[in-house]
């Protein structure tokens, strides 16, 4: 009698119900609140389609009823000379701006830390290049008489339903960033040309270009200019760049501005071996809070570098640029890497910054790929 064959292939996790409209072929489901874009799904068209964009939620999304009447959602503006509450419908008459920017989870690249920090082991897919439309925060602030005196931070509060029986400050999604971030920030109601989906923060989301994802508050219900950073746990202790083995505290750097980063999307090891001959090395690069100046590619693990060509339109300093470098590869094994330099002259570092949370990994060496050419 023939023996039954047991499959060793892990079953693919289904998409959670609230994001069942995502493209399952493009996503890696880590959990119901963490979905990663596959490296091979980024394509060559700069903007990341909404149905392929990663998901990272600190709390469950609110009830879908909040997007049934988007224009009625309210946000309180505080810490200005004339504070008041606006409905989204009113915000749409206050001004308009459209910004392309990289949205990236602070832990993107955590999976490359050998210390295996707790949290989702993201590789490159907790990021995307997204186009947002909304009212500029600076225009809204000016219309309300400007910031009140002494305000140092811009603090956003999310509208998620908080679990009962817990100290609200222990779970609320409330983040403070330096007030200077207001210059390019938006209260956005549109994403990639459509109303922002519930899963991505609709009906209204605070967008802070150049800052990591957690600072881009979903379901924003309060935007306040404050003298001090919020004492919410997610700010005071969470998302801090703390030494390995230590818990976060307010004395440590907060996860705010992103650094220059790039990675190669093709050829990639998951696609199998590469045929000898001309190969197109393709990837994405962004400069953090500054524009991309140039991208270099190495096929020998960083011993030598060649300048890649930037592809497609420049969508602004906060968007990523796609790049390509054609190379002739003979049979063998290669370590291919890339490094971006931004307009301020900062080059993507070779090594990661070790920290307890596995945050801000923009090491080009960690993101290098080993490929086999046949």
Give the span between the Cα atoms of 191 and 75, in whole angstroms: 18
286-296: pLDDT as tens digits: 999 999 999 99
Query: What are the C-alpha distances in Å from 189 to residues 52, 98, 217?
Result: 19, 11, 12
Domains and CATH numbers, the chain: 17-237 (3.90.420.10), 261-373 (2.60.40.650)
Mean pLDDT of the chain: 95
Residues 323, 293: contact at Cβ < 8 Å?
no
Q: What is the pLDDT of residues 145-189, one digit of tens each?
A: 999 999 999 999 999 999 999 999 999 999 999 999 999 999 999
pLDDT at 13: 86
Q: Is the pLDDT of residue 102 over 70?
A: yes
Residue-wise DSSP of 221-280:
EEEEEESS----HHHHTSSB---TT----TTSPBS-BPPPEEEEEES-GGG--B-SEEEE
Q: Could you tell me whether strands 292-298 and 332-342 are parallel, antiparallel, or unpaired per DSSP bridges?
A: antiparallel
User: What's the average model confidence in pLDDT over 289-308?
Assistant: 98
User: How far apart, in Å, are the Cα atoms of 93 and each of 72, 86, 143, 201?
Assistant: 14, 11, 12, 21
Q: Tell me: pLDDT of 1 over 50.
A: no
pLDDT above 70 covers a percentage of the chain that reads 97
Instruction: Check whether 303 has a pLDDT greater than 90.
Output: yes
Predicted confidence band at 2 (pLDDT cuts at 50, 70, 90)?
very low
Q: At 182, give phi and psi (nearest 5°).
A: -60, -25
Neighbours of 370 (CB within 10 A): 10
Residue 7: pLDDT band (50, 70, 90) is: very low
User: For the whole model, what pTM was predicted?
Assistant: 0.95
């Amino acid at each position: 009698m023939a023996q039954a064959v047991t499959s060793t292939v892990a079953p693919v996790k289904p998409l959670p119900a609230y994001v069942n409209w995502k493209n399952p072929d493009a996503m890696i489901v880590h959990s119901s609140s963490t979905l990663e874009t596959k490296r091979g799904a980024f394509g060559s068209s700069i903007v990341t389609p909404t149905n392929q964009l990663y998901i990272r939620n600190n709390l469950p999304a609110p009830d879908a009823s909040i997007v049934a009447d988007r224009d009625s959602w309210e946000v309180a503006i505080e810490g200005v000379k004339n504070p008041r509450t606006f409905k989204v419908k009113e915000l749409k008459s206050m001004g308009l701006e459209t910004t392309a920017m990289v949205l990236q989870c602070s832990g993107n690249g955590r999976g490359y830390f050998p210390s295996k920090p707790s949290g989702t082991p993201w590789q490159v897919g907790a990021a995307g290049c997204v186009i947002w439309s909304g009212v500029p925060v600076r225009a809204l602030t000016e219309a309300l008489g400007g910031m009140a005196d002494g305000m140092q931070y811009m603090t956003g509060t999310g509208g998620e339903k908080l679990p009962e029986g817990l100290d609200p400050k222990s779970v609320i999604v409330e983040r403070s960033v330096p007030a200077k971030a207001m210059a390019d920030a938006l209260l956005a109601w549109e994403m990639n040309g459509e109303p922002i989906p519930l899963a991505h923060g609709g009906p209204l989301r605070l967008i802070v270009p150049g800052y990591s994802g957690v600072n881009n508050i979903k379901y924003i219900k309060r935007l306040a200019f404050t003298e001090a950073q919020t004492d919410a746990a997610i700010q005071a202790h969470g998302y801090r760049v703390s030494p390995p083995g230590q818990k976060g505290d307010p004395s440590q750097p907060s996860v705010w501005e992103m650094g220059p980063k790039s990675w190669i999307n093709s050829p990639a090891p998951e696609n199998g071996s590469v045929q000898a001959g001309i190969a197109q090395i393709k990837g994405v690069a962004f400069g953090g809070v500054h524009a991309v100046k140039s991208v270099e590619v190495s096929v020998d693990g960083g011993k030598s570098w060649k300048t890649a060509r930037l592809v497609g339109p420049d969508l602004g300093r906060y968007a990523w640029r796609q790049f390509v470098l054609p190379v002739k590869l003979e049979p063998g094994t290669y370590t291919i890497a890339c490094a971006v330099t931004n307009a301020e002259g900062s080059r993507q570092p070779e090594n990661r910054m070790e920290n307890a949370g596995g945050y801000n990994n923009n090491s080009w060496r960690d993101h290098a790929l080993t490929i086999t050419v046949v």
